[in-house]
Amino acid sequence: ETGVTQSPTHLIKTRGQQVTLRCSSQSGHNTVSWYQQALGQGPQFIFQYYREEENGRGNFPPRFSGLQFPNYSSELNVNALELDDSALYLCASSGLDGYTFGSGTRLTVV
Amino acid sequence: AQRVTQPEKLLSVFKGAPVELKCNYSYSGSPELFWYVQYSRQRLQLLLRHISRESIKGFTADLNKGETSFHLKKPFAQEEDSAMYYCALFLSGTYKYIFGTGTRLKVLA
């Protein structure tokens, strides 16, 4: 698998719960970025990880957190889920050849 | 503030007609602009970037710094062009994109 893979593809959670989304980066890419795409909106930057450290953050509250592992894969964690967190979450890995997006995880909070 | 505006949520054209998807940006630095496309049930994929000045699938886009625009054009639309199109400003200092809200293009037979 050389592209960006995300798991799970779909997820339903209850308000107040916590969720972890996973992303495997494309081979050769060492930077991972996460975006939130709400219905009818363009993707919005959440944060980025480079060499296992957060390397930039968008306008999202601290209950959105992440990790990057030595193999450059990444997790997005969201605590205390709110109804407005329902969205498509996109992971993108990047390297010298540019950005590659994954297919996303569709999170529904009920 | 950095911003990308796509004024049209939906654009419907007939097959063979010209297409122009509008994009305006706000950025104080030297912009790097891209168009991404998302076909039904597929992932977001790069269509073209202003730096390369290339034509992909018949689409072109010219950066107009005076009008702060980066409109996407195609002289003859095809049904397979039906998709969601996003204009994006890349901030090379932070290595992140600012996306517009997207325009859904529908090409009618």
Query: Secondary structure of chain A in the HEC alphabet?
Result: CCCCEEECCEEEECCCCCEEEEEECCCCCCEEEEEEECCCCCCEEEEEEECCEEEEECCCCCCEEEEECCCCCEEEEECCCCHHHCEEEEEEEEECCEEEECCCEEEEEC
Q: Is the pLDDT of residue A18 over 90?
A: yes
State how far the Cα of B59 lies from the Cα of B30, in Å rounded to an integer. 23
State whether B95 and A56 contact (CB < 8 Å).
yes
Contact with chain B for residue A103, Cβ under 8 A: yes
Contact with chain B for residue A43, Cβ under 8 A: yes
Judge contact between A45 and B84, C-beta under 8 A.
no
Q: Cβ contacts (< 8 Å) between A35 and chain B: which residues? A: 97, 99
State how far the Cα of A29 lies from the Cα of A34, in Å rounded to an integer. 14
Return the pLDDT at B55.
80
Nearest to A48 among B44, B96, B99 (CB): B96
State how far the Cα of B83 lies from the Cα of B59, in Å rounded to an integer. 13
Q: Is the pLDDT of residue A27 over 60?
A: yes
Higher-confidence residue: A98 or A22? A22
Higher-confidence residue: B51 or A70? A70
Return the pLDDT at B52.
79
Contact with chain A for residue B42, Cβ under 8 A: yes
Q: Cβ contacts (< 8 Å) between B45 and chain A: which residues? A: 101
Return the pLDDT at A65.
97
Judge contact between A83 and A109, C-beta under 8 A.
yes
Judge contact between A100 and A73, C-beta under 8 A.
no
Q: Is the pLDDT of residue A1 over 80?
A: no
Closest CA to B43 of A60, A41, A108, A100: A100
Judge contact between A19 and A9, C-beta under 8 A.
no
State how far the Cα of A41 lies from the Cα of B89, in Å rounded to an integer. 15
Cα Dmax for chain B: 44
Percent of chain A with pLDDT over 70: 98
Tell me which residues of chain B have a pLDDT lower than 70. none
The minimum CA-CA distance between B74 and chain A, rounded to whole Å, is 22
How sure is the predictor about A2, in pLDDT bands with cuts at 50, 70 and 90? low
Closest residue of A to B102, CA-based? A42
